[in-house]
Amino acid sequence: MAEIRKCQVLIVGAGPGGYVAGIRSGQLGMDTVIVEGDKAGGTCLIRGCIPSKAMIHAAERFESISMHNSENGHMGISISSEPQLDMAALVSWKDSIVDRLNKGVEALLKGSGAELIKGWANFSSPKRCTVETPNGIVEIEAENVIIATGSSHIDLPFMPCDEEFILSSTGALDLDSLPSKVAIVGGGYIGLELGCALSKLGSEVTVIEGMESILGIFDRELRRPLEIWLKKHGVIVHTNALAKGAQVKGRGASKKVELSYEMDGEVQTLKVDKVLVTVGRRPNTKDWGLETMGVRMDQSGRFIRTDRQCRTNVPGVYAIGDVAGEPMLAHKASSQGEMVAEIISGLTREFDKIAIPAIVFTEPEIVSVGLSPDEARDRGEDIVIGKFPLAANGRALTLEAEKTGGFIRVVARESDHVILGIQAVGSHIAELHGEFVLALEMGALLEDIADTVHAHPTMAEAFHESVLKSLGHAIHSA
């Protein structure tokens, strides 16, 4: 007979939502069990956000060094030979960061008193599951359950990923050599982040996007600097183009992938070394017994329906992160995980966020918090807009962040000057998102930011200037 483990809190999934919920539950003194079939840290830490940002940073460093190899060098610095790329070593360095963070998460869980059980959970009822572990089957019975199963890469049925020639983002982060030519199917943030990195490392990149534009979640003004960078760096972008299939042709080391796609009513082909499929992610709601729990799905049928406390229709069962709806972002999951742990402990909490930041780590980076101008107008708001170019910011010039044509844009209600949204695009701009989010969450007025002293020289001054611009008196811009 299997061992029965009873606990106050059972968390399924140790991703950024689950492990934060586990740590906080343990801190609050609750008997907590967290079940994870892979490594603690989830998609974001193991095969998503963290490893991709490591590769992006390495690509930036490689490109920067390459600039110093030009005839006249750069910044007065020159090197006598071209930098060499060892892709396997780059991946090994990336893996070392992932391993360090994975061990850190496990140590934090242990330190908080939460028990991590490695294995796959299968529910037979709302609060009871069996877990197949390396040491045998464990049955768990819980007073409260937090579903934090995350999401997975979407495979195209006519072009499934084999992770050798047709890659998901996971395969793209484990390349043992740099492909000479790469086709990316899907012009969303995952594909474009990796596309920019591969381009900097030296790959020829082609993007196949089915919609009218890449990064369709952002307005034209915000994505324009990225489009210019892609064109300048030889990245070919085909929009209104639908992938139809891919075939591996050739033998041995000469094998290539022939990608077919339809554009302008004609089927065209493209031969590349690798095809990267990044058409989105789907919540993990299958194959672990969700149907036995009695929880309701939302109208789309994709996500578990929850209220503002992440409660499902089943008492004592909560859902957080990607499985509970858009936006499918790690930081949203973490915030929800902490909140749910506190609710279970008896504290009064509610997930009522004015703004959840969206950041794309392309070149240039893109940040969006709150409402865009079009979204604000669609809600019937009369607005004022202030836009300040990074080219007029001293610190941006010293970092060469102005070269991408970036800017910061603030959107505020005209009648009372409450800030409704902030968008920014430019090199190194992601680190400013904290000030943007705080401004919205604190209900800041334009005058609040205008009267706040910003240190010089910093790129944060550009935010200050964009607010002054909306008030009609920017100092460093006409």
Eight-state DSSP code of residue 295? P
> What phi, psi does 436 have (nearest 5°)?
-65, -50
| Secondary structure class of 17 (helix, strand, coil) | coil
What pLDDT sits at residue 1?
A: 53
pLDDT for residue 71 is more than 80: no
pLDDT for residue 254 is more than 80: yes
The rounded mean pLDDT for the chain is 94
What pLDDT sits at residue 404?
A: 85
What pLDDT sits at residue 226?
A: 96
The DSSP code sequence of 403-415 is GG--EEEEEEETT
Tokens of 40: 């603690």
Lowest mean pLDDT among 98-102, 131-135, 164-168, 345-349: 131-135
Eight-state DSSP code of residue 77? B
Type of residue at 140:
I
CB-CB neighbours of 113 under 10 Å = 16
Helix axes 330-344, 18-27, angle to 10 degrees: 30
Please give the average per-residue pLDDT across 447-476, as a whole number.
Answer: 95
The model's pLDDT over 175-202, given as tens digits with 9 standing for 90+, comes to 999 999 999 999 999 999 999 999 999 9
Please give the average per-residue pLDDT across 38-56, as a whole number.
Answer: 90
The model's pLDDT over 298-319, given as tens digits with 9 standing for 90+, comes to 999 999 999 999 999 999 999 9
Q: Which residues are catalytic?
A: 456
Q: With pLDDT > 90 as the criterion, what percentage of the chain qualifies?
A: 87
What pLDDT sits at residue 2?
A: 61
The predicted model scores a pTM of: 0.93
Eight-state DSSP code of residue 159? B
User: Which domains, ranges and CATH numbers included, belong to the chain?
Assistant: 3-152+282-344 (3.50.50.60), 166-279 (3.50.50.60), 358-470 (3.30.390.30)
The Cα–Cα gap between 478 and 181 comes to 44
